[in-house]
């Protein structure tokens, strides 16, 4: 997870089943990018204490908190998501990508936050470039 200000470009590579979540305040020109690998922190509580950003259920609230600490306001945030794919071949027993997106949707719904856009699912890995000066997000596969 990384938070930046105007002039910064934040990049995350190889979003497969992982969730990429971007939150941007266009007035404060501050934003953050989370790359969360697993849906629920209870699957590894010790790891969650060490790195809460690894999990959707702990990483998403931490992302919002850090963006707001940097001057963003929740009511102005533009939120976008990417990733949550399934591995090529389609027989993924644990459905990590699908579960990551499901946990995200539950968290956003409970907190009255709506995704402005999403590039979710499929089998392609994605790389995200997030330009904090403009809020522009470029996704390549």
CATH number of 2-140: 3.30.1330.200
Indicate the pLDDT class of residue 76, thresholds 50, 70 and 90.
very high
Cα 7 to Cα 31: distance, rounded to the nearest angstrom: 11
Indicate the pLDDT class of residue 79, thresholds 50, 70 and 90.
very high
DSSP track, the chain = -EEEETT-EEEEEEESSSEEEEEEETTTTEEEEEEE-BS-GGG-HHHHHH-GGGBHHHHHHHHHHHHHHTT--GGG-EEEEEE----TTS--TT-HHHHHHHHHHHHHHHTT--EEEEEE-SS--EEEEEETTT--EEEE-
Per-residue pLDDT reduced to its tens digit, 91-128: 667 899 999 999 999 999 999 999 999 999 999 999 99
Question: Is 102 exposed, middle or buried (CB count within 10 Å of its CB: 0-12, 13-18, 19+)?
Answer: middle
What is the pLDDT averaged over residues 2-27? 97
Report the DSSP pairing between strands 19-25 and 2-5.
Answer: unpaired
Supply the pLDDT for residue 88: 79
Could you tell me which residues are beta bridge partners of residue 35?
Answer: 20
Supply the pLDDT for residue 31: 98
Q: Share the mean pLDDT of the chain.
A: 95
| Predicted TM-score (pTM) of this structure | 0.95
- CA dist 29 → 26, 48, 51, 71, 118 (Å): 5, 29, 26, 9, 21
Domain positions in the chain: 2-140
């Amino acid at each position: 997870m990384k938070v930046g200000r105007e002039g910064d470009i934040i990049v995350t590579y190889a979003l497969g089943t992982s969730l990429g979540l971007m939150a941007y305040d266009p007035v404060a020109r501050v934003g953050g990018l989370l790359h969360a690998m697993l849906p629920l922190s209870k699957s590894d509580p010790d790891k969650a204490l060490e790195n809460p950003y690894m999990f959707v259920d702990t990483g998403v609230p931490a992302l919002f908190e850090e963006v707001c600490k940097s001057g963003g306001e929740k009511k102005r945030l533009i939120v976008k998501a990417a990733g949550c794919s399934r591995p090529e071949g389609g027989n993924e027993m644990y459905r990590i990508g699908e579960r990551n997106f499901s946990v995200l949707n539950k968290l956003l719904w409970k907190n009255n936050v709506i995704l402005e856009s999403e590039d979710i699912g499929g089998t392609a890995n994605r790389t995200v470039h997030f330009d904090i000066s403009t809020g522009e997000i470029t996704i390549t596969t």
